[in-house]
Structure 1
Amino acid sequence: MAKLPEVRRERRTPRRRVLRVTRIEELSPTMRRIWLGGDDLEADFSFSPLGASDHIKLVPPDETTGQVVLPPPDGPRPMMRDYTIRRFDAGRTELALDFVLHDHGPAGRWAIDAVPGSEVGVLGPRSTQIFPGEVGHYLIVVDETGLPAAERFLEELPATVGVRVIVLGGSQRALGDSARDAEIIWLEGAEALLKTVGDVPADVFVWAAGEADVMRGLRTYLRDEQQVDRARFSIHGYWRVGHAGSLPREEEG
Structure 2
Amino acid sequence: MTEVSTRRNRSAAAPSKTSAGNQEVIPAVRAFNVVVNRVERISSNFRRITFGGACLSDFGVQGSTLDLRIKVMIPPANGECADLGALMDGEGSGWYQQWLSLEPSERGDMRTYTVRDSRCDQETPELDVDFVMHFDAAGNGGPASQWAAAAEPGDRVWLIGPNIHAASCSTAGAYGGIEWRPGLAQNVLLAGDETAVPAISAILESLPKDIKGHAFLEVPHGSDCQDIQTRSGVGISWLVRGGRPHGELLDAAVRQAVRVPGWVSLAAPFRVSLGSDTPSGQALAAAAGRAGGPERAAGPEPEDIDVDKTILWETPQLLDAAALDGSLNPDKPSGALPFYAWIAGEAAVVRGLRRYLVRDVGIDRKQVAFMGYWRQGKAEG
TM-score by length of 1: 0.83
CA contact (8 A) 1:51 1:131 kept: no
Give the structure 1 partner of residue 76 of structure 2.
62
Q: Distance in 2 between matches of 1:97 and 1:163?
A: 26
Amino acid at match of 2:146: R
Matched-pair contact (CA < 8 Å) for 1:55–1:85 = yes
Distance 1:185 1:179, change over 3 A: same
Mapped partners of 2:157, 2:210: distance in 1: 39
Q: 1:32 to 1:179 in 2, by over 3 A?
A: farther
Alignment-derived partner of residue 110 in structure 2:
80
* Runs of at least 5 residues in structure 2 that lack an aligned partner in the other structure: 1-25, 88-94, 101-106, 136-140, 163-174, 260-271, 273-286, 289-337
2: CA distance, partners of 1:153 / 1:194: 18
The Cα shift of 1:180 comes to 4.2
For residues 16-60 of structure 1, the C-alpha deviation after alignment (integer angstroms, 9 at most, x for no partner) is 12211112232211002211011332x132234455222111111
Match of 2:153 in 1: 116
Q: Please tell me whether the aligned partners of residues 22 and 116 of structure 1 are also in contact (alpha carbons under 8 angstroms).
A: yes
* Equivalence for 2:220: 170
SS of 1:111's equivalent in the other structure is helix
Of structures 1 and 2, the larger Rg is shown by 2
**Aligned pair count?**
234
1:26/1:181 CA distance change after superposition, 3 Å: farther
Q: Which runs of 5+ in 1 are unaligned?
A: 1-10, 247-253
Q: Is the CA contact (8 Å cut-off) linking 1:57 and 1:123 kept in structure 2? A: yes
Answer yes or no: is the 8 Å Cα contact 1:138–1:204 preserved in 2.
yes
Displaced runs of 4+ in structure 1, greater than 6 A?
none
1:85-122 CA deviation, whole Å, 9 max, x = no partner?
22210213101111001352221111111111111110
Distance 2:62 2:207 in 1: 12
> Which residue matches 1:136?
186
Letter in 1 for 2:216: I
Contact 1:51 1:128 in 2 (8 A): no
**1 CA distance for matches of 2:362 and 2:64?**
25
Q: 1:177 deviation in Å?
A: 3.5
Counterpart of 2:132? 100
Q: Taking structure 2 as the reference length, what is the TM-score of the superposition? A: 0.57
Pair 1:205 & 2:254 matched = no
Matches of 2:370 and 2:227, distance apart in 1: 20
**8 Å contact from structure 2 (residues 59, 161) kept in 1:** no
* Deviation per residue, 1:172-200 (Å, 9 max, x gap): 42343335443222332433244333334
Q: How does 1:1-253 map to 2 (within 5 A)?
A: 13-41=28-56, 43-49=57-63, 51-63=65-77, 65-71=78-84, 72=87, 73=95, 74-77=97-100, 78=107, 79-89=109-119, 90-91=121-122, 92-103=124-135, 104-125=141-162, 127-129=176-178, 131-132=181-182, 134-171=184-221, 172-187=224-239, 188=241, 189-191=246-248, 192-199=252-259, 200=272, 201-202=287-288, 203-245=338-380
Higher strand share: 1
Identify if the C-alpha distance between structure 1 residues 32 and 39 changes in structure 2 by more than 3 Å, giving closer, same or farther.
same
Tell me how far apart the structure 2 counterparts of residues 107 and 44 of structure 1 sit (CA, whole Å).
25
In structure 2, distance between residues paired with 1:35 and 1:167: 23
- AA matched with 2:354: R
